[in-house]
Structure 1
Amino acid sequence: MNRAQREAAARQIMERTPTPVPPDLYPEVLRRGGRMLRRRKAAARLMWLLLFAATAAFVVWALMARPWVEPPSETTPPLTGW
């Protein structure tokens, strides 16, 4: 199928009358779309809440553990000059 044939086939498809849509389809689409939006919004809020909780837990851990401070020496230096 060359380009001219593809264009002719596409024109024929576009010139056809659209198929009728069932009358009860629109309310069903609105209901499902609204539900999808609510779920996405709830998932986004949950993700933000988890991110905030993880950040708060990290900050509390960092303040308690102080990973930037050098740990105390476990051995004593040798005593010389006694």
Structure 2
Amino acid sequence: MNRAEREAAARRIMEQAPPPVPPELYAEVVRRGSRMLRRRTAARRLMWLLLFAATVAFTVWALTARPWVEPPSQTTPPITGW
């Protein structure tokens, strides 16, 4: 087959009416699709919740530990009584 014949055959296949879908198959597909969407939505909400909890935990830790402040030096005692 040359290119023109292949294109014509592909057009004939695409222009044909699709075979009818059995009603029980359609109901099953809708049920599975809605279940998949519910699971995907629940997973997305769980991930946002975990991200929010991690952000809150990090913020609380940073405010209590204050990692940006340099700790006082412990090598020499403070000079008093001069």
TM-score for the superposition, normalised by structure 2: 0.82
Residue matched to 2:75: 75
What per-residue deviation string (whole Å, max 9, x for no partner) do you get for residues 6-61 of structure 1? 21111221243422311211111111111011101100110010001100110111
For residues 15 and 47 of structure 1, what CA distance do their matches in structure 2 show? 44
Question: Where in structure 1 are there 5+ consecutive unaligned residues?
Answer: none
Q: Which amino acid letter does the alignment assign opposite residue 55 of structure 1? A: T
Tell me the SS of whatever aligns to 1:76: coil
Size of the alignment, in residue pairs?
Answer: 79
Q: Which amino acid letter does the alignment assign opposite residue 49 of structure 2? A: L
Q: Which amino acid letter does the alignment assign opposite residue 42 of structure 1? A: A
Shift of 1:3: 2.0
Question: Where in structure 2 are there 5+ consecutive unaligned residues?
Answer: none
TM-score for the superposition, normalised by structure 1: 0.82
Residue matched to 1:11: 11
Moved more, 11-20 or 65-74: 11-20
Runs of 4+ aligned residues of structure 1 deviating over 6 Å after TM superposition are: none
In the alignment, structure 1 residue 66 sits paired with structure 2 residue 60: no
Tell me the SS of whatever aligns to 2:62: helix
Q: Which amino acid letter does the alignment assign opposite residue 44 of structure 1? A: R
Residue matched to 1:36: 36
For residues 28 and 72 of structure 2, what CA distance do their matches in structure 1 show? 67
